[in-house]
Amino acid sequence: MVTGKIEAAYYCGVDMHSRSSYICILNQRGEIEYKRNISNNFQTFKQNIARFLPDIAIGCESTYNYYCLVDGCAQSGLRFHLGQALYMKAISGHKRKSDPLDAETIKNLLRTCYFREAYPYPQEMRGTHD
């Protein structure tokens, strides 16, 4: 489903890999406020976004390793949006690929009406899903 515009003061796009994630945060005007490559640890993630709390929308592509991020956001009361990976690749239209560019695409899709959400499976259903 394509959501309506996600309202927030800040938008955080997360490009996750097996050991690290690239995060990019922008404000409502579309200006980049913060970007950094971090280790895949929720406490590290939360420390990096702390100054943008509580009004931040977090978006991530539905890859194989998003569980730690969705679980941490749920436990911390943070708004998390899981995006459908194939739709994000189709809409970005980029000829080149990089972590900063992927994170920027995710956060821009969050800020507009083009973020197609996927279902973040709850812990008890992940065995069946995987």
Is residue 127 one of the residues assigned to a domain?
Answer: no
Residues 6+ away with beta carbon under 8 Å from 93: none
CB–CB of 27/33 below 8 Å? yes
pLDDT tens sequence across 75-90 = 999 999 988 777 666 5
Which is higher by pLDDT, 38 or 107? Answer: 38
Is residue 128 one of the residues assigned to a domain?
Answer: no
Percent of the chain surpassing pLDDT 90 = 42
pTM of whole model > 0.85? no
Is residue 24 one of the residues assigned to a domain?
Answer: yes
Is residue 123 one of the residues assigned to a domain?
Answer: no
In one-letter notation, the amino acid at residue 17 is H
The boundaries of the domain holding residue 56 are 10-118
Question: How would you classify the pairing of strands 79-83 and 56-61?
Answer: parallel
Is residue 96 one of the residues assigned to a domain?
Answer: yes
Is residue 53 one of the residues assigned to a domain?
Answer: yes
* The total number of structural domains that make up the chain: 1
CATH number at residue 45: 3.30.420.40
